Amino acid sequence: MEEKIKIGFYALTSCYGCQLQLAMMDELLQLISNAEIVCWYMLDGKSLEDEPVDIAFIEGSVSTEEEVELVKKIRENAKIVVAVGSCAVQGGVQSWEQDKNLEDLWKTVYGDGKVKFQPKMAEPVSKYIKVDYNIYGCPPEKRDFLYALGTFLVGSWPEDIDYPVCLECRLNGNPCVLLERGEPCLGPITRAGCDARCPAYGIACIGCRGAIDYDVAWFDSLARVFREKGLTREEILERMRIFNAHNPKLEEMVEKIFGGESQ
Ligand code: SF4
Ligand code: SF4
Ligand code: SF4
């Protein structure tokens, strides 16, 4: 009998929304017949985190010292490591205040509350281990996950998306909230794949799928539009930090958009 592909789902610090999204997919049952789920606490409390797996899916940001050790262990035991969702890929919204002091943040939220773990500032999984593939979004789209898992299960490798949300938005014929209402939509510099979900409801994109590669976004036209609409460098930078606080090119990118001119 053919050996099944072993899969593990692991959760770090997160809202568990990505896992929930995956657990609720009927389509998963069809794919999973070719696989064995070795670890997934949300579905089975007796899951073993130490078992070797072919594919490890990791949700959440690395936000405790214990999680640093956990991701290293997962990497040692897995042939392929996939970061799932904005928390795992970019560090999530919990990385927004990177420039603040952990103790001050802790006191603001928990006061003098004590915990059994050693907290640290939230960081993406790739900060500590090699990640082989990213599934973007907060939470990711079902089809992204099914595409990645299905492709791995047939022994191939999924492609990455290298075009911005604007492309899908234009194809869907949504009114542009940036051009028509002057709202700070990050669609031009955010990785597509969500079918322009937010602009489809008249809401400006906040970049949950992460900034698209620096050299493919449309900086020149974007700079002109942002300026025309009276949006400042600080406004755009602050908005991009929500989901891109760890992007090493963030400031450079915003600098390029605004051409180094003071606003
Ligand atoms: S990426 Fe979003 S949905 Fe997924 S765990 Fe993080 S906050 Fe929750
Ligand atoms: S609404 Fe946003 S995503 Fe859509 S075209 Fe305008 S800028 Fe791009
Ligand atoms: S439009 Fe932007 S914020 Fe909304 S789901 Fe897509 S990438 Fe995320």
- CATH number for the domain harbouring residue 16: 3.40.50.700
pLDDT, mean of residues 70-96: 97
Closest residue CA from atom 5 of ligand 2 = 166
- Identify the residue with better confidence: 23 or 120: 120
Q: What pLDDT score does 209 carry?
A: 97
Residue 217 confidence (pLDDT):
62
Among 186-195, 205-214, 247-256, name the most confident range.
186-195
Report pLDDT digits (tens) over 137-178: 999 999 999 999 999 988 999 999 989 999 999 999 999 999
Q: Is residue 245 part of a domain?
A: yes
The per-residue pLDDT for 99 is 82
Q: Which of 153, 174, 202 is the last residue of a domain?
A: 153
Exposed e or buried b per residue across 78-91, where buried means at least 16 C-beta atoms within 10 angstroms of its C-beta: bebbbbbbbbbbbb
Residue 261 confidence (pLDDT) above 60 = no
171 and 220 in a single domain? The answer is yes
> What CA–CA distance (Å, rounded) separates 175 from 162?
23
Asked if residue 237 has pLDDT above 90, the reply is: no
Q: Are residues 116 and 231 in the same domain?
A: no
Helices marked H in 154-244: 165-171, 177-181, 197-200, 219-228, 233-244
Please tell me whether residues 172 and 94 are part of one structural domain: no
Same domain, residue pair 50 and 103: yes
Confidence of residue 80 (pLDDT cuts 50, 70, 90): very high
Q: Are residues 136 and 201 in the same domain?
A: no
Q: What percent of the chain has pLDDT over 90?
A: 59
Question: Is 142 within a domain?
Answer: yes
Is 158 contained in some domain?
Answer: no
* Any ligand 2 atom below 6 A from CB of 194: no
- The answer on pLDDT for 214 being more than 70 is no
Judge if 70 and 103 occupy the same domain: yes
Q: Which residues line ligand 1 (CB under 6 A)?
A: 14-15, 17-18, 59-60, 85-87, 92, 138-139
* 235: nearest Cα among 208, 263, 201, 210: 263
What pLDDT shows up at residue 88?
98
CA of 99 from ligand 2 middle (Å) equals: 29
The answer to whether 34 touches 65, Cβ cutoff 8 Å, is no
**Nearest ligand for residue 204 CA:** 2
* Atom number of ligand 2 nearest to Cα 185: 2
Q: Is 97 part of a structural domain of the chain? A: yes
Number of structural domains found in the chain: 2
Residue located nearest, by CA, to atom 7 of ligand 1: 15
CA of 20, nearest ligand number: 1
Domain of residue 209: give its range. Answer: 165-257
Q: Are residues 79 and 176 in the same domain?
A: no
State whether 43 and 18 are in the same domain. yes
| Predicted confidence band of residue 215 (pLDDT cuts 50, 70, 90) | low
| Alpha carbons within 13 A on the beta-carbon side of 130 | 6
Ligand 3 centroid from CA 243, angstroms: 10
Measured in degrees and rounded to the nearest 5, phi and psi for residue 19 equal: -60, -40
Same domain, 121 and 64: yes
Look at 263 and 76; give whichever has higher pLDDT. 76
On whether both 21 and 119 belong to a single domain, the answer is: yes
Ligand 3 lined by 191 (C-beta under 6 Å): no
Q: What is the pLDDT of residue 83?
A: 98
Percent of the residues in the chain that have a pLDDT greater than 70, as a whole number: 95
Ranking 30-34, 98-102, 149-153 by mean pLDDT, the lowest is 30-34
> What digits encode the pLDDT tens for the residues 40-66?
988 888 888 889 999 999 999 999 999
Of 91, 121, 153, the last residue of a domain is 153
Residues 21 and 76 in one domain: yes
Q: Among 123, 153, 183, give the residue marking a domain's end.
A: 153
Residue 32 forms part of a structural domain: yes
Tell me the three-class secondary structure of 2-55, residue by residue: CCCEEEEEEECECCCHHHHHHHCCCHHHHHHCCEEEEEECCCCCCCCCCCCEEE
